Amino acid sequence: MSLKQMLKRLSIFFIFFALFCITNIQNPALAVTPQNLYDKAWKLIQTKYVDETQNQQNWERWRHKYDNVIKDEEDAYVAMATMVDSLGDVYTKFLTPKEYKEESESIQGSLKGIGVQIGVREGKLLIIAPLEDTPGERAGLKSEDEILEIDGKSTKGITVEAAAEKIRGPEGTKVRLLVKRKNEAPKLYTIERANIELKSVSTKAPKIGKVDDNLGYIRLSSFLSKNAAAEFKAALEQLKTKDGIIVDLRSNPGGLLTNSIYIADMLLSSKVIVSTVDRDGYKETQKSLSQVNSIQPVVVLINEGSASASEILAGALKDNKRALIVGKKSFGKGLVQEINKLPDGSALHITIQKYLTPNGTDIHKKGITPDYEVEIKEADVKANKDPQLAKACELLQEQVHKNTNFPQIEIK
């Protein structure tokens, strides 16, 4: 074959290839049948899930299990949810397009509801944390409260996604929650939904207890919003003349891994923040990049509702001896999820890694033990006392007195 003929054939090939690509770009639906959607989810879990055994099961059995059953997207959603449930991992989950849209709105910084983070533990629907200054918090809901009923219907066997859909709703409407608090009789709460602006950081004085005038206080309620790190940096700048800083992570359920790394970077200088380990044992270490050499002493407050990204930040500051930790042992979530958007607008959260604190500690289902364990009793709340906050102030004042000329904060 002559060079001229070869070039002619290659030209024809590339023309057909280009036309094929253009056709698929202009008609993406051709590749997104309900069955293909299910198969894509199957492949994602097969290749990314942190446990290569997929919870000690033959993952191949799921691939063609619903070939003759899936007729439309709703069928595919049920099939995908069932498949994902077989992993026995509450953090790996399927989200319908509606659920994924709501989650995206939360990351953007707003949602319509009552402002509580919820989760399922041992079959119980629990409030992980009420967000600050929201209808849920104002109604008196607390971490570890169990939701028994939503609008008169039992929550037994309910998923987090289904519960969230029932609790959220149009602004101005109401939801009724039957709530059981430890050692108390169930109580019915009727709460009006509102548009929740998810501001993650507050420097306002706490509602109970008192912070000494020469100390700064930063309440970080969530790592979910994309604005969390920027808000935290602004708070540090605002409090740069204070002698010490209290970072309150109590009842903070976590959020974006990147936020915890960015915030830790503001407080650490050239130190390990966290390490992640994937299914193949590959370990990736995140280090602080900033050169912060002069910064106030820090005390971090945690409790049973401090989870995930909260534990990454607390663990990084504790292991690097950058802060003292006060409160109660944290929740114990040491897994990292990746959000995988599917072609139809639905999504999969897949656990792809576990994480280790700088000392190599796996805190999953163990939590972070504070340096100073302090409990808040009901009598303290009634007396408007916060012994955890008081201990934080005491420890900071001790450090301040040892460093009377402590330099001001330097943020880079």
215 & 313 share domain: yes
182: CATH: 2.30.42.10
In a domain, 256, yes or no: yes
173 & 297 share domain: no
Residues 338 and 350: beta-carbon distance below 8 Å:
yes
In a domain, 59, yes or no: no
Residue 317, pLDDT above cutoff 50: yes
In a domain, 158, yes or no: yes
The mean per-residue pLDDT over the stretch 388-395 comes to 97
Residue 290, pLDDT above cutoff 90: no
Percentage of the chain beyond pLDDT 90 is 68
Q: Which two tokens stand for residue 262?
A: 């960015």
Residues 31 and 338: beta-carbon distance below 8 Å:
no
In our burial notation (b when 16+ CB lie closer than 10 A, e otherwise), range 338-356 reads eebebebebbbbbbbbbbb
Query: How large is the angle between the packed helices 97-108 and 160-167, nearest 10 degrees?
Result: 70
pLDDT class of 208 with cuts at 50, 70, 90? confident
185 & 220 share domain: no
275 & 357 share domain: yes
pLDDT class of 38 with cuts at 50, 70, 90? very high
Per-residue model confidence as pLDDT tens digits over 324-346:
999 999 999 999 999 999 999 99
What is the CB neighbour count within 10 angstroms for residue 175?
19
259 & 318 share domain: yes
256 & 193 share domain: no
Tell me what pLDDT residue 75 has: 96
Question: Which residues form the domain of 130?
Answer: 114-197
134 & 247 share domain: no
The mean per-residue pLDDT over the stretch 302-311 comes to 95
189 & 210 share domain: no
In 83-123, at which residue ranges do the beta strands (DSSP E only) sit? 93-95, 110-113, 116-121
**H or E segment at 137?**
helix 135-139
Tell me what pLDDT residue 122 has: 85
216 & 311 share domain: yes
Per-residue model confidence as pLDDT tens digits over 352-363:
999 999 999 999
- Per the structure, the count of domains in the chain is 2
In a domain, 301, yes or no: yes
Provide the annotated active-site residues: 308, 319, 333
Tell me what pLDDT residue 19 has: 29
Tell me what pLDDT residue 130 has: 86
How would DSSP label each residue in 152-186?
TEE-TT--HHHHHHHH--STT-EEEEEEE-TTS--
In a domain, 46, yes or no: no
Of the given ranges (10-14, 371-375, 405-409), which has the lowest mean pLDDT? Answer: 10-14
Query: Is the Cα dihedral 152, 155, 159, 160 positive or negative?
Result: positive
- The three-class DSSP label of residue 226 is coil
257 & 397 share domain: yes
Residue 235, pLDDT above cutoff 90: yes
324 & 290 share domain: yes
pLDDT class of 3 with cuts at 50, 70, 90? very low
pLDDT class of 408 with cuts at 50, 70, 90? very low
Tell me what pLDDT residue 128 has: 82
Tell me what pLDDT residue 35 has: 95
pLDDT class of 109 with cuts at 50, 70, 90? low
251 & 118 share domain: no
Per-residue model confidence as pLDDT tens digits over 65-97:
999 999 999 999 999 999 999 999 999 999 999
In a domain, 90, yes or no: no
Q: Smallest Cα–Cα separation from 377: which of 117, 112, 182?
A: 182
Query: Given 143, 164, 197, which residue is the final one in a domain?
Result: 197
Query: Given 173, 197, 221, which residue is the final one in a domain?
Result: 197
> Is 0.85 topped by the overall pTM?
no
